[in-house]
Structure 1
């Protein structure tokens, strides 16, 4: 760095001292996503200070009721995915609603939607249609199969990625392919799309140009199984389901104790030596079956048997205390009810609480930590249309126009 650049950097740093973190403040995002991947992408941007406006028709979107918790229009999935957002009730398929949408689009930076290419074009949400109104717009789309190939216009969900990537056949104990209980493909795709959107915003700062950002469930899922696919393609090995054991180290498994289950993960030669001494079988270190992490993974059944025998006569608390003393990573396998009270979870600062009629909903709103994210106040997922009047007024609509437009939207819903 030159002396001049160094001085400029120091000046910028000094000028920034004492200022509130900006993050994505000033960035407006229009969220037309549904269910998980696209709404989660938009929520990640909202967490960092962006103004995110969720747009849905007056009847409400179908994802509002997913995993109901006794509060109409605000299921558990909706509460998590739409934190820190505003709600605009607007039917963009009606002429008046479309006109209001385009007026809002002209002052927006990002549009997030999860539709394949053909459906985007039918809805006039494709990149060419949007940039005709806002030339530097960033369109972030999430599809099931990606933008290329014969399947590009097919629809699909989280299970699609799990099934087509090979993950289901590697999950469980081998009797049948098994889907993971959580929608990890959806969530990971949302995170990847948020990352790509930030990259596009950074690019626009330098060039002034917008772009079409694309993510897909299948692309994310294939990235996650990629090491196994590489092994298969090169003939190194063909993986098969092996329950909770790790294929690349051992012992790494779930073990029954007197009163529950604990997860133990031993990785690396040094830790394996400690573990062998810990269970009273130091001779295992010299056994050629356990000479490396990969060989310990491939022969992990024998190692799991040793660890299972050690755990069986002890309580979970006794197991965890002894393993922590030996510096061997371990934790309890918790039920959802136990996860709500575990100190690792409650003390980690992950949850924000939303007050509902039936109690307080623990919403994970701090997935990552930045200064801007920490400074962004938590805002509960909005009621349907909660911000409609205010947003329309900010676009220049008068009170009578707003009342008429809202009435037209409702009339369209009833027709």
Structure 2
């Protein structure tokens, strides 16, 4: 597939993205844009994206970490310290609608790709910078997701009350930042359609983490509440979490008083709904230590599958705790088709589908995550065509200026 814009392949058909990101937050953002039809040129240093080496696991010798966030892109290797490669990098940026990078603040200044230089040289370009801790006070701090999980407060509310703080099982704030970045880019593209002007967008992992902690951080900002670890309990809802049954844990999520009444009816404990200690959500939260053993005693009489059938029949949300494999298979059983083959011919990689489903302009999966530098020739050809088009434009303008009454042949 040529790196020139493809037609009819998604809602971002015709948009070109110069992707100077690596690892997770930036690549996840640019993959989402590529899925929606944008032409994404992934510029990698001579060593390639760090995540290419992050194994196990691997698929045919390639890191599945890298494969998870780099489909539908075109890889070209450039050494920005080499004058010729730097000129090529500038050409790629010049031909793009969006320039996305996650270099350390100030790291691109010597290459003329810092925000001020970009704004001056390419005023219509949308430039998105992703950092770990901002471009000012935290500019020297390395932007690793686990560091952000620690300093944001996330780990302080994750884990058992009597255990140590816990990290999430995935780099969740990288992913959240990638999502925020994609939304911000779409907003800037929409605004540019009216103004004709580009702008600089900056996102940092810590700010995205604090935003992503929603009720926990707002509880502190609004009323000084400092939450603590509750294990699998919810600070504002009860019962809400996994409960033991006769064979294994079952997640039960009661979100309102009506659901609680139906829940205890199924358990054979209808009087609990009228007990003043448990009648409202606030009261159930206050008396959860008293309520829990009563619920557990009832639930452990029957296996989880029995309770699942009974609770779902009356509209009480519940679900088992599955492995990743079981979770993917469960989605498939619901007809969600979570695994999609990406690529054509000899290079086809199984990936997890983009969750957005468009009725008219569907996302695409036609290019597997590229091998390092695999698209250099295609990108070079695209740049040559752009140079030729610019030369023709200059010639036409010159002809028109000499003969203003002559019709433009285009």
Task: Kindly state the Cα deviation for residue 122 of structure 1 after the two structures are TM-superposed.
Answer: 4.2
Q: Which residue of 1 aligns with 2:152?
A: 165
Q: Which residue of 1 aligns with 2:143?
A: 156
Note if contact 1:169-1:241 (Cα within 8 Å) is conserved in structure 2. yes
CA displacement 1:128-153 (0-9 Å, x = unmatched): 222344221111111111234x2233
Task: Check 1:120–1:355 CA distance in 2 against 1; reply closer, same or farther (3 A cut).
Answer: closer
* Separation (CA, whole Å) in 1 of partners of 2:152 and 2:134: 13
Note if contact 2:158-2:231 (Cα within 8 Å) is conserved in structure 1. yes
Note if contact 1:248-1:298 (Cα within 8 Å) is conserved in structure 2. no
Q: Does 1:210 find its partner at 2:198?
A: yes
Task: Check 1:40–1:368 CA distance in 2 against 1; reply closer, same or farther (3 A cut).
Answer: same
* Separation (CA, whole Å) in 2 of partners of 1:236 and 1:392: 56
Alignment match of 1:229 (pick from 198, 203, 217): 217
Task: Check 1:155–1:122 CA distance in 2 against 1; reply closer, same or farther (3 A cut).
Answer: farther
* Separation (CA, whole Å) in 1 of partners of 2:291 and 2:67: 43
Gaps of 5+ in 2: 1-6, 386-410
Note if contact 1:170-1:239 (Cα within 8 Å) is conserved in structure 2. yes
Q: How many residues align?
A: 377
Q: Does 1:28 find its partner at 2:13?
A: no
Note if contact 1:64-1:73 (Cα within 8 Å) is conserved in structure 2. no
Alignment match of 2:258 (pick from 261, 270, 273): 270
Instruction: Indicate the SS of the match to 1:101.
Output: helix
For normalisation by structure 1, the TM-score amounts to 0.83
* 1:261-410 matched pairs, under 5 angstroms: 261-343=249-331, 347-354=335-342, 362-371=350-359, 374-396=362-384
Task: Check 1:44–1:202 CA distance in 2 against 1; reply closer, same or farther (3 A cut).
Answer: same
Task: Check 1:51–1:354 CA distance in 2 against 1; reply closer, same or farther (3 A cut).
Answer: closer
* Separation (CA, whole Å) in 1 of partners of 2:207 and 2:361: 28
Q: Which residue of 2 aligns with 1:128?
A: 116
Note if contact 1:108-1:137 (Cα within 8 Å) is conserved in structure 2. yes
Note if contact 1:68-1:74 (Cα within 8 Å) is conserved in structure 2. no
Q: Does 1:260 find its partner at 2:248?
A: yes
Instruction: Indicate the SS of the match to 1:141.
Output: strand
Instruction: Indicate the SS of the match to 2:143.
Output: coil
Task: Check 1:26–1:222 CA distance in 2 against 1; reply closer, same or farther (3 A cut).
Answer: same
For normalisation by structure 2, the TM-score amounts to 0.84
C-alpha RMSD of matched pairs (Å): 2.7
Task: Kindly state the Cα deviation for residue 173 of structure 1 after the two structures are TM-superposed.
Answer: 0.9
Gaps of 5+ in 1: 1-18, 398-415
Task: Kindly state the Cα deviation for residue 305 of structure 1 after the two structures are TM-superposed.
Answer: 3.0
Task: Kindly state the Cα deviation for residue 123 of structure 1 after the two structures are TM-superposed.
Answer: 4.6
Q: Which residue of 1 aligns with 2:395?
A: none
Note if contact 1:65-1:73 (Cα within 8 Å) is conserved in structure 2. no
